[in-house]
Amino acid sequence: MSKADKAEELFKTYNCAQSAAAAFAEDFGLDKEKALQAAVGFGGGFGREQEVCGAISGAIIALGLASGFKENSGRDKINEVYAKVRKFMGEFKEKNGSVHCLDLLDGCVLNTDEGHKYFVEHNLRSRCSGYVRSACDLLEKFIKET
């Protein structure tokens, strides 16, 4: 099962950020429960504020875990991770048109009753599932490259 498949399965129960982070966590020494806890607030683009897509945030948590960063790794390692994050976000944007949840959902505002109703009625969760898959497919590629 690919990480994208695993993340899509997790997305049936958890939010976008949790699903992406938890799909990779155990590979890098973080148990699934801790990954779910660490990523929960990033869903819906930071607690439904619809900033950066939660799937991206979860993937970036996993990218950080994959980086090998350790205490006292230094500024060079931080800058290396920042460069990978920028590249990751650029490729996600190229593929999906944006990195912002609000844009990815065509302006559907999740933190209102009307917006949430629209989200459900128009099955936008299935679109989000695609973004989870996209972020995880991209992250698998990035991890293989390093």
Q: What is the SS3 assignment for 66-106?
A: HCCCCCCCCHHHHHHHHHHHHHHHHHHHHHHCCCEHHHHCC
Residue-range domain boundaries for the chain: 3-140
What's the pTM value of the predicted model, to 2 decimals? Answer: 0.94
pLDDT (tens place) for every residue of the chain, 146 residues total: 899 999 999 999 999 999 999 999 999 999 999 999 999 999 999 999 999 999 999 999 999 999 988 888 889 999 999 999 999 999 999 999 999 999 999 999 999 999 999 999 999 999 999 999 999 999 999 888 86
